[in-house]
Homo-oligomer: A and B are copies of this chain.
Amino acid sequence: MTTQRTARAFQLAARPHGFPTADLFTVDETPVPEPEPGTAVVENLYLSVDPYHRELMDEGGWELGTPLEGRAIGRVTASRAPGLTEGDLVFHRAGWRTHAVVTPGQDGVRTVPSYDGVPLAAHLSILGGTGLTAYVALTRTLEFRAGQDLFVSAAAGGVGTAVARIARLLGAGRLIGSAGTPAKVARLTGELGFDAAFDYHDGPVGELLAKAAPDGIDAYVDNVGGDHLEGAISVLRDHGRIAWVGAISQYHSAHEPPAAPRNLFDIVGKSLRLEGVLVRDYGYAQAELEALLVPHLQSGLIAPDVTVVDGFERTVDGFFGMLRGENTGKMLIKIAD
């Protein structure tokens, strides 16, 4: 099934200060392992690189000199695990490497269901942790209802595009997004169907948002923090809800977090709710997500929004590109089909 004899894995040699550099990463090469009883060896096909990986590069995160980790999809090449057979597709969290040893039932390892007409990349984007984050932020944290007006920041990113797709299916009213380039803004109001969008470089975020949402919003999915959060607090209606997913604006400055919103006390005056969302708490909703989305992926109503970088050796490039916002939709590394 595979001719690869060498397994490669990215490691971190030293911790970054600010934006990481390529020289911090090394590739460790070992022979492809044989499976121990109860495990299977997987050759990875797609790797996910995510904003939270940047945080894990700081003190207290990943260990130096060991393979990095991330969501991945691979194909079983050898198995001594009950229920896993050569050729099976497996989702697991041992990414940033060409081969992984997985144990069914541990660390979220699961076989990927085969849905006719659904591309593999969907399982690491709108059907993966990214899509699940969007889904539970909307349905659990925000208790989002048809007709409600929603703002999402970093709207052209993995979570942002998934939020937009799912919010539309749930009957969203006005959908407003922010992004970091004019091209992305055009895609938001174009193929992604946003009612309004703005480039956050074009002025104070609060003013841009107030203009895009002149009648206010009911709910906000925050991928950014900082000024975006402050702006959202200011346009949220009474009893508005914020699902806080990420704060990409501050991942490079964990030791000097930004002054948080100056209008934070408006949370009381407007009876707002701000709640953090960690997708690891919501694994139970995976089947629900697939039940909602798979028919629409099959019909073509929804496409997985992905930017794919080809080649394992370009994993770090893809990661940097994601940090710089070069992707639209989820950033993936493709190793093989």
Contact = CB atoms under 8 A, between A and B. Distances in A.
Interface of A: 225, 244-247, 250, 257, 259-265, 267-278, 281
B274 A275 contact: yes
A263 B257 contact: yes
B275 A250 contact: no
A251 to B, nearest CB: 10
A250 B267 contact: no
A260 B261 contact: yes
Given A245-B268, A259-B259, 14 more contacts: A244-B265, A244-B268, A246-B268, A257-B263, A259-B260, A260-B264, A261-B264, A267-B274, A267-B275, A268-B276, A271-B275, A271-B276, A271-B281, A273-B274
B271 A278 contact: yes
Contacts of A277: 268, 271
B276 A275 contact: no
- Copies of chain A in the complex: 2
28 contacts: A225-B265, A244-B267, A245-B268, A246-B268, A247-B268, A257-B262, A257-B263, A257-B264, A257-B265, A259-B260, A259-B262, A260-B260, A260-B261, A264-B264, A267-B274, A267-B275, A268-B276, A268-B278, A269-B276, A270-B276, A271-B275, A271-B277, A272-B275, A273-B273, A273-B276, A274-B274, A274-B275, A275-B275
Contacts of A278: 268-269, 271
A31 to B, nearest CB: 38
B260 A247 contact: no
A314 to B, nearest CB: 29
A7 B89 CA distance: 83
A265 B250 contact: yes
Contacts of A273: 273-276
A265 B265 CA distance: 16
B265 A262 contact: no
User: When A and B form their complex, which 9 residue pairs have the shortest distance between CB atoms, in order from nearest?
Assistant: A260-B260, A268-B276, A259-B259, A260-B264, A273-B275, A267-B276, A274-B274, A271-B276, A247-B265
A268 B244 CA distance: 6
Nearest to A264: B260
A276 B259 CA distance: 20
Nearest to A222: B268
A264 B261 CA distance: 9
A281 B268 CA distance: 12
A278 B274 CA distance: 15
A89 to B, nearest CB: 30
A224 to B, nearest CB: 11
Contacts of A272: 275-276
A270 to B, nearest CB: 7
A25 to B, nearest CB: 25
Nearest to A273: B275
